[in-house]
Structure 1
Amino acid sequence: MTHPLAFTGSGLAPYAAQAAQSRGRLHSETVSTFRSEFQRDRDRIIHSSAFRRLKHKTQVFIEHEGDYYRTRLTHSIEVAQVARTLAGALGLNTDLAEAIALAHDLGHTPFGHTGEDALQALMAPYGGFDHNAQALRIVTSLERHYAEFDGLNLTWETLEGLAKHNGPLLRPDGTPRKGPLAFALADYNARHDLELSSFASAEAQVAAIADDVAYNHHDLHDGLRSGLFTEVDLMELPITGPAFAQVDRLYPNLDVMRRRHEALRRVFGVMVEDVLHVAGTRLSTSAPQSAQEIRDLDVTIIRFSDRLFRELKVIRQFLFDRMYRAPSVIAMRSEVTQMVNDLFPLFMNDPALLPAEWQQDVVDAVDEVALARIVADYVAGMTDRFAIQEHGRLTGRPVAPPVVLGGGLR
């Protein structure tokens, strides 16, 4: 299918982000002679410590319980692939879309959203915790490898995409749209204005919808592999039912694994085609002539159609009931929640338990709130296996590794 606004070759649409016109970095650097500014961002993200740790962080299933299940790392790679595909088809900057996609999950805690929920509750008296804001904190402060600055010193456009890929965070008058602004966002925005009252670039919107496409697809795949539901169950749902029916018509008596793959790749294709169709229509109607005009619009350009969105809600509810809140999942949620609940106060009460490289931060902490932020940074950065190991070492109560954890991306 040829989309009306599809671009070929190296040409970018007028509404694409142009690397040569980037608003730059908080700390000035010499321009690379062989990479664009957004390519440098992507490369710094890939080489960061936080990105490597995603290999051992939960997507939905504990990684060492099965090599076939997604981790945060494999999920991020899949999101980046979808983002590049969508961006390329729409004439957008594929490097910027890819950089935002690769970094979008850097702030996730161990144990998926179960761990985040526990850390949110623990940090409520100290300004709260949000994984999107934590990703920004990681790339602007916590990665400490460069001689001249903390963080990765990414471009304004990549940071903007991380901060508001899900939409504006502030109203035009500067008041928060959904509760208080997360600490990490407010802290960095005070130094480097990310214009939180506007929409993000089209590339950031692409990264956000690519996240939805990837997890809707792979949660179905991982759920089937786990045995929490079967293909028969999916035959009763919108999108997945027609996909399996089409495969059965085209390839009768196909073996189970090939049938599953063929059906789910059609589900994947339905989502991508829908996004491109909606984006093409909206871009044709609004006819933006610059990346800034995309930001100034009062609607999201990159999104699912209303019909597909309703159908995906049915699938997400099915996954919630059969996968994220399955009895085995509920049992493990309480165990890993207890681990986080044990670790946080241990470090708060005895900061000397933190590694040596964190001790200067402890010395610099001016009050309990600052100390809590340091502890949250450390706990949030743990991988699943390291959190389990540290909990056993520090409490003397080893916990058997969980098999399944709930909580697809939000």
Structure 2
Amino acid sequence: MLKGKRELEKDEEILAPYAERSSLSQKREFPEEDHPYRLPFQRDKDRIVHSQAFKRLEYKTQVFVYSVGDHYRNRLTHTLEVAGVSRTLAKALGLNDDLTEAIALAHDLGHSPFGHAGQDALADIMRGFGGFEHNKQSLRVVQKLERKYPGFSGLNLCYATLQGIMKHGGDYAKSSANEERKENGPSLEAQIVDHSDEIAYSSHDIEDGLEKGLLKPESLLDVRIWKQNYLVVKEKYPNEKEEIILRTTYRAILNELISDLLTNTHANLEKHNILSPEDVRVAYRNKIPLVSFSKEMNEYRKELKSFLFENLYRHPTVSKMSDQGKEIIHLLFQYFLKHPEKIPLSYREREEEDGRYRIICDYVAGMTDRYAIEICKSEGIFGLPYSVLF
């Protein structure tokens, strides 16, 4: 049986009543003809995956820069893990998993090189010039910077997808999608992605920290969610190697976080009688949280985040990489301010409209770690010898 658009839309009839549906949420800034066998959110997902910005995520830092090793997460593998967790939760709750996955795949497209250190450096430079924040930059990427289609800039994603990428209604400029998002809040699909992002990095950053040797298994015993799962796994597999015990513990924590969020969110939807997307919007306006962990898990989650912040993200090795990343961002920005002719033409063409600071910001934010380092090498603009960095 060949399924066309009409048959695919009928498949959406089995979604929960509070889920977003393609037939009601397919508005785009630039109207397009329907595809014969792909629904609007499927097309959004495909456009994101085929974008230049998505490809570059492979060489952008999650916690460790690409040169540290091949088995640590990067911004792409993190994004894929977020999409996996999001899809699992969306399916179990009867939400639109195509929309959920599209939002997840796009959520970090605007991340700068060198992770949050790069973001901090650009935010410092852009203070007084419109600012920089990676969620807003993700929107700028999909609305303006990608140039692959005739008739419009960006990817022309559905408003529902764009609003899912927005956090707190954030954008550099006002738009109807932005204003609607501020008034009505995020869809359940968007809220799921937001929580899945935290679930993914909280669990996989433990794994990478232990793999790198920056975290010690014994120190994690002070974290309740780790200790409880570790001891259960240890008792269940007394003869297994420690490496297998640790990996099984990561998975157990991931499963516990997902299961708790799923169970508690379902209970919230039942409690508040959420029966439509409009009910979701009303709940937002009344400041009623729908997607949330249980009270106990929320405490465990905060404890884990605090541990990672103090013991991994502030570890001297990570801090050194972060400081070096910030220095590279500052050096690159100053170099391009002095040598605008070195900025690619596709960016310089927008200088009159956006200003020099913004076009340099767009260019530098889109770089991978590897490309940023190579530009510094090739142009001889390192403040320190290259061998000292990374």
TM-score by length of 2: 0.92
Q: Deviations 1:124-174 (Å, cap 9, x if unpaired)?
A: 02021010000000000000010111000000100010113xxx44xxxxx
1:399 aligns with 2:386: yes
Change (3 A) 1:122 1:351: same
Partner of 2:355: 370
Partner of 1:51: 54
1:387 aligns with 2:372: yes
Partner of 1:300: 289
Cα distance in structure 2, aligned partners of 1:318 and 1:150: 42
Change (3 A) 1:9 1:402: farther
1:11-410, aligned counterparts within 5 Å?
11-164=14-167, 168-169=168-169, 185-189=171-175, 193-297=179-283, 298-362=287-351, 364-365=352-353, 370-397=355-382, 398-400=385-387, 403=390
- What is the Cα deviation at residue 26 of structure 1? 0.3
Contact 1:123 1:129 in 2 (8 A): yes
Most deviating of 380-389 and 296-305:
296-305
Cα distance in structure 1, aligned partners of 2:41 and 2:108: 18
Cα distance in structure 1, aligned partners of 2:161 and 2:249: 34
Change (3 A) 1:332 1:195: closer
- What is the Cα deviation at residue 277 of structure 1? 1.2
- What is the Cα deviation at residue 396 of structure 1? 4.1
Q: Deviations 1:273-317 (Å, cap 9, x if unpaired)?
A: 110111111100112221122122122311222221211211112
Q: Deviations 1:164-204 (Å, cap 9, x if unpaired)?
A: 3xxx44xxxxxxxxxxxx6xx14252576433133210000
Change (3 A) 1:225 1:402: farther
More helix by share: 2
Contact 2:159 2:177 in 1 (8 A): no
Give the letter aligned to residue 316 of structure 2. P
Cα distance in structure 2, aligned partners of 1:124 and 1:322: 30
Instruction: Work out the percentage of aligned pairs sharing the same amino acid.
Output: 39
Cα distance in structure 1, aligned partners of 2:13 and 2:177: 35
Contact 1:199 1:300 in 2 (8 A): no
Residue 182 of structure 2 aligns to a residue in which SS?
coil
Most deviating of 310-319 and 218-227:
310-319
Q: Deviations 1:328-387 (Å, cap 9, x if unpaired)?
A: 22222222211111111221232111023323223x34xxx7211111000000000111
Q: Deviations 1:73-96 (Å, cap 9, x if unpaired)?
A: 000000000000000000000000
Q: Deviations 1:375-407 (Å, cap 9, x if unpaired)?
A: 10000000001111112222343534855xxxx
TM-score by length of 1: 0.88
Give the aligned length.
375
Give the letter aligned to residue 244 of structure 1. Y
Most deviating of 244-253 and 312-321:
312-321
Give the letter aligned to residue 196 of structure 1. K
Give the letter aligned to residue 22 of structure 1. S
Residue 292 of structure 1 aligns to a residue in which SS?
helix
Cα distance in structure 2, aligned partners of 1:73 and 1:188: 29
Cα distance in structure 2, aligned partners of 1:187 and 1:351: 25
Contact 1:205 1:300 in 2 (8 A): no
CA-based RMSD of the aligned residues comes to 1.8
Partner of 1:175: none
Residue 27 of structure 1 aligns to a residue in which SS?
coil
- What is the Cα deviation at residue 68 of structure 1? 0.8
Runs of at least 4 residues off by over 6 Å: none
- What is the Cα deviation at residue 13 of structure 1? 0.4
Contact 2:377 2:386 in 1 (8 A): yes
Change (3 A) 1:370 1:292: farther
